[in-house]
Structure 1
Amino acid sequence: MTTAPTIPWTYARLAGLPLVWRRRVLKSVLAARGLVARLRGRNDEAGFAATFESVLRLPRREALRLSRQAARHDVAAEIEWCALHRRPIAAIRRDIARVTVSDPAVMERVAATNRPVILAPLHMGAYVVGLAALMLRHFPGRPMLVLRQRDDMAMETEVIERLREVDVDVRFLNVGNRSDFLSAIRFAQKGAVIVVFCDLDPSYGAPAEMPMFGRPFRFAFGTDTLARLTGATVVPLATTMDDDGDTVTFGRPFEVRGQGPEERATVADIMRRHLQAAIAARPEQWHLWPMLADYLPSSETVQDTLPVRGGAPHDLAA
């Protein structure tokens, strides 16, 4: 049984504003709060600075700047979930209209085939809004099937189910065993667009080596099996947030024909390149930095002052 999500009063007030206003007001409020803290002699700049220095090989000043942006983005992302949860449908439609697709021709080509499709986003930015924009513009009338491993995330469930009110036929499927996985295959073959996040940690199953930034990262990677069994085209993507709206960018779409180790290594490298490029372009917007140790061997763990971050739910299945 799920419980209703609790939304802080301040978040609820900001979430009720139009997109541009809520993001700019939040930016101004947090900037003022940071200035007051520094004037009082408090250092609020630690955050992920050491992580960014170590993993991304950044100088201290740049790492501190990104760390401040990451803290602001975490709050902004939570407010976007609240906005989807609380705002009128007409307002949500206006937010979706502010999504820019970097290369719409990519999705047009994929959609035109009428074959099964797997969208593989990262946990970056306001990714639910990005997915809704893609479904409405390129896959109208097709259901979206979100794979996940548990159903106790109240905010996630209620927000994504609200997409039905904007004409996105979204469904959930828990994939805890083989029969659930087979259900996903049947859904894909019947025309559903499958959503499988590509940046889940190895504990979600079928881990693959995907070294990034000179470190031995490993990610869960069951997408290749699902793509092979369904004949789907996999489209890696990432959504990022800015003051005026969101942008969806794509990695290299691919298909999986065989099941040998060479084929798996090839498609894992495509996904690795997408992950690294997306994170390197906007590192402050990747929601999963607090779980960095889950992706690396213990000898590679980066010591940092990692804050406890609520953020958006991140339990969707691999």
Structure 2
Amino acid sequence: MSTAPHIPWTYGHLAGLPLAWRRRILQSALAARDLAGRLRGRREGTGFAETFQGVLRLPRREALRLSRLAYRHDLASEIEWCALHRRPVGAILRDIARVQVTEPAVMERVAATGRPVILAPLHMGAYVLSLACLMVRYFPGRPMLVLRQRDDMAMETEVIERLREVDVDVRFLNVSERADFLSAVRFAQKGAVIVVFCDLAPSYGAPADMPMFGLPFRFAFGTDTLARLTGATVVPLATTMEDHGDTISLGQPFEVRGSAPEERAAVAGIMRRHIQAAISSRPEQWHLWPSLADYLPSSATVQDNSPAGGGAPQDLAA
């Protein structure tokens, strides 16, 4: 999640271990800490439990369980950033080998056409490692262009740039101006694989209504215009982290032929279903819960579904 907790020095050293080891050791360390806390009578914080209850309509016990998993996932994600930053190339390649794609034949068909491709991941799991996997496995020799609106994310930039050492030609492009957007079109037409995150807040531009979980969510959605101008195939995807490795789940690939409102609504519907399915399947691994208010109008409320029942609606966007 975007405001990840502080990582102790000892956890930072886990980054140097093989993938399965660092994740299992982290799990064991947190389990031991939680047990010690319970023995001392210390009560757990609720974390994102109220949000999971209200948005996902979950019972209190399940929401608390997912909140604990979200905390562990935040720590594990920070360790994965550290691992990509400090591990040698051979070790990173071994980590990449532990990433599986749910429908490899789909990705193979998309890559085999040689046409422009837009990868549209969510901010879930160890998404940088999954992008490296896709580039090494399916798009060798093609550059990867990551679109973003600011360049002040020093740690992220350093980590993603390390992918050059595993033979991924990574480039960044800020798209705050129209001329920058046209540069992305030219890059795609020359064979670059474009990365545009599909779960950006509507303030990033071209917002589209994508109601989910009974709430009026909105997401930035310039991907349809970029796809239409480049003739690219858009591949929605989401990464989930497990103790043994990562899994990349693909959504429904699509192309955009026209600019009519009906077509924009149709492809926005494809993306909405992908985002909702990804978050529903592993809500504890979506990094952007702390920014939930950015996706909802100020008037959006959700009923508290706690078993104790009957609470006043929670304002999730205030």
Q: Please tell me whether the aligned partners of residues 142 and 192 of structure 1 are also in contact (alpha carbons under 8 angstroms).
A: yes
Q: Which residue of structure 1 aligns with residue 313 of structure 2? A: none
Unaligned runs of 5+ in 2: 1-5, 305-318
**CA offsets 1:75-134 (integer angstroms, 9 cap, x no match):** 000100000001111110100000011100111110111110000000000001111111
Q: Which residue of structure 1 aligns with residue 316 of structure 2? A: none
Match status 1:192 vs 2:192: yes
* Paired amino acid for 1:202: P
**CA offsets 1:29-62 (integer angstroms, 9 cap, x no match):** 1111112222222222401111111111111111
Cα distance in 2, alignment partners of residues 112 and 133 from structure 1: 16
Query: 1:151-230 residue pairs with structure 2 within 5 A?
Result: 151-230=151-230
Cα distance in 1, alignment partners of residues 79 and 103 from structure 2: 27
27-36 vs 111-120, which moves further? 27-36
Displacement after TM superposition at 1:7 (Å): 7.6
* Paired amino acid for 1:162: R
Q: Which residue of structure 2 aligns with residue 285 of structure 1? A: 285
Q: Which residue of structure 2 aligns with residue 14 of structure 1? A: 14
* Paired amino acid for 2:235: V
Displacement after TM superposition at 1:300 (Å): 1.9
* Paired amino acid for 1:246: D
Corresponding residue SS for 1:299: coil
Displacement after TM superposition at 1:11 (Å): 3.3
Query: 1:28-177 residue pairs with structure 2 within 5 A?
Result: 28-177=28-177
Cα distance in 2, alignment partners of residues 7 and 42 from structure 1: 21
Cα distance in 2, alignment partners of residues 97 and 146 from structure 1: 22
Cα distance in 1, alignment partners of residues 10 and 181 from structure 2: 40
* Paired amino acid for 1:152: D
CA root-mean-square deviation: 1.4
Cα distance in 1, alignment partners of residues 250 and 24 from structure 2: 27
27-36 vs 87-96, which moves further? 27-36
* Paired amino acid for 2:199: D
Identical pairs, percent = 82
Query: 1:221-300 residue pairs with structure 2 within 5 A?
Result: 221-300=221-300
* Paired amino acid for 1:94: R
Displacement after TM superposition at 1:301 (Å): 5.1
Q: Please tell me whether the aligned partners of residues 212 and 272 of structure 2 are also in contact (alpha carbons under 8 angstroms).
A: yes
Unaligned runs of 5+ in 1: 1-5, 305-318
TM-score by length of 1: 0.92
Q: Please tell me whether the aligned partners of residues 7 and 82 of structure 1 are also in contact (alpha carbons under 8 angstroms).
A: no
Q: Please tell me whether the aligned partners of residues 293 and 302 of structure 1 are also in contact (alpha carbons under 8 angstroms).
A: no
* Paired amino acid for 1:217: F
TM-score by length of 2: 0.92
Cα distance in 1, alignment partners of residues 209 and 43 from structure 2: 37
Corresponding residue SS for 2:20: helix
Q: Please tell me whether the aligned partners of residues 51 and 302 of structure 1 are also in contact (alpha carbons under 8 angstroms).
A: no
Corresponding residue SS for 2:299: helix
Cα distance in 2, alignment partners of residues 123 and 159 from structure 1: 15
Q: Which residue of structure 1 aligns with residue 311 of structure 2? A: none
* Paired amino acid for 1:156: E
